[in-house]
Structure 1
Amino acid sequence: MPTRTAFCSCGQLSIEVQGDPRGIGLCHCLACQRRTGSVFAALASFATPYRVSGTATEYVRTGDQGAKFRFRFCPFCGTNLFHTEEGYEQSSVAVAVGAIADPDFPPPQDSVYDCRRHSWVRLPPGTRTYEKDPTA
């Protein structure tokens, strides 16, 4: 079973996950654009357990459908490293794909909030797209 470790920019905060990702997706919602400072968030979901090293600061945001997401980021360099959804903390964690820093990491399968995707962003072939949140 593969082990992957994602690090913040300064290396103070890390998360270690086991196994293959349950899913890989892109989110183009405005909240993710602001949160990441990029035009989309690239996230990979992993099953628990996971191991966190270092100190994290938390920010809770309520999504469009009312779910609460607890984002963890490094208090020193500001890297937004991972998050959990309240009520599902014991089963999964979402990790920022870029923080895994593996150019061979698999491509996304899903793209959500495509209605907010910048026109110049091209998705990998076969990526499923959803105008908004597919659970809505």
Structure 2
Amino acid sequence: MSAADSPAPRLASCSCGQLRARVSGEPVRTSVCHCLACQRRTGSVFGMQARFPRAAVAIVGNRAEYVRVGDEGGRTTFGFCPACGATVYYTGDSADTIAIPVGAFADPAFPAPTVSVYEERMHSWVRMPDEVEHTP
């Protein structure tokens, strides 16, 4: 693929636009998480995020961070805007990728999820597409 064929960089931002993430290339994984922590973080019934190689992401702007320890002991560091509070990115114990909430891109054409996790906590009325990989 030539540079002319490469997808245009995507820009994610917080609600006020002060904290931004510019990504190049396609996500390595786009997933939906139904865990209770994601429900609380998003204020919705699930979180949807896209993971990109760390080298493909540039973060610009002032940020605050919050570290959460998950059900299995892993640490996740959330980068959010200190002005409006919106999460723009997060990283796990693995230093390989950065996850960005898909809503931060404000792009209805963003690729659909390929994986759905923590489905045992999924709200009964939520339906995932059939082609999505389902994990409990």
When normalised by structure 2's length, the TM-score is: 0.91
The unaligned stretches of length 5 or more in structure 1 are 132-136
Alpha-carbon distance between aligned partners in 2 of 1:100 and 1:38, rounded to the nearest angstrom: 17
- Matched residues, percent identical? 49
| Pairing 1:106–2:111 present | yes
| Cα distance in structure 1, aligned partners of 2:61 and 2:20 | 7
Equivalent AA in structure 1 for residue 35 of structure 2: C
Q: Which of the two has greater helix per residue? A: 2
Give the whole-Å Cα distance in 2 for the aligned partners of 1:11 and 1:122. 32
Deviations 1:6-30 (A, max 9, x none): 0110000000111100000000000
Instruction: Decide which structure has the larger Cα Rg and report it.
Output: 2
For residues 89-131 of structure 1, the C-alpha deviation after alignment (integer angstroms, 9 at most, x for no partner) is: 3x21000001111111111011111011111111122111111
- Hey, what does 1:31 align to over in structure 2? 37
Q: Count the aligned residue pairs.
A: 129
Matched, 1:64 2:38: no
Q: Which consecutive unaligned segments of at least 5 residues does structure 2 have?
A: 1-5
Report runs of 4+ in structure 1 exceeding 3 Å deviation: none
- 1:35 & 1:99 partners in 2: Cα distance? 13
Q: Which residue of 2 aligns with 1:55?
A: 62
**Whole-angstrom distance in 1 between the partners of 2:102 and 2:60:** 18
Following the alignment from structure 2 to structure 1, what is the Cα–Cα distance between the partners of residues 85 and 127?
Answer: 27
Paired amino acid for 1:21: P
Aligned equivalent of 2:3: none
**Alignment TM-score, normalising by the size of structure 1:** 0.91
Indicate the RMSD between aligned Cα atoms, in angstroms: 1.0
For 2:120, the equivalent position in structure 1 comes to: 115
Rounded to whole Å, the distance in 1 between the matches of 2:54 and 2:37 is 25
Alignment partner of 2:131: what SS? coil
Could you tell me which amino acid in structure 1 is paired with residue 74 of structure 2? A
Write out per-residue CA displacement over residues 9-67 of structure 1, whole angstroms, 9 at most, x where no aligned residue: 00000001111000000000001101111110000000122111111110101112211
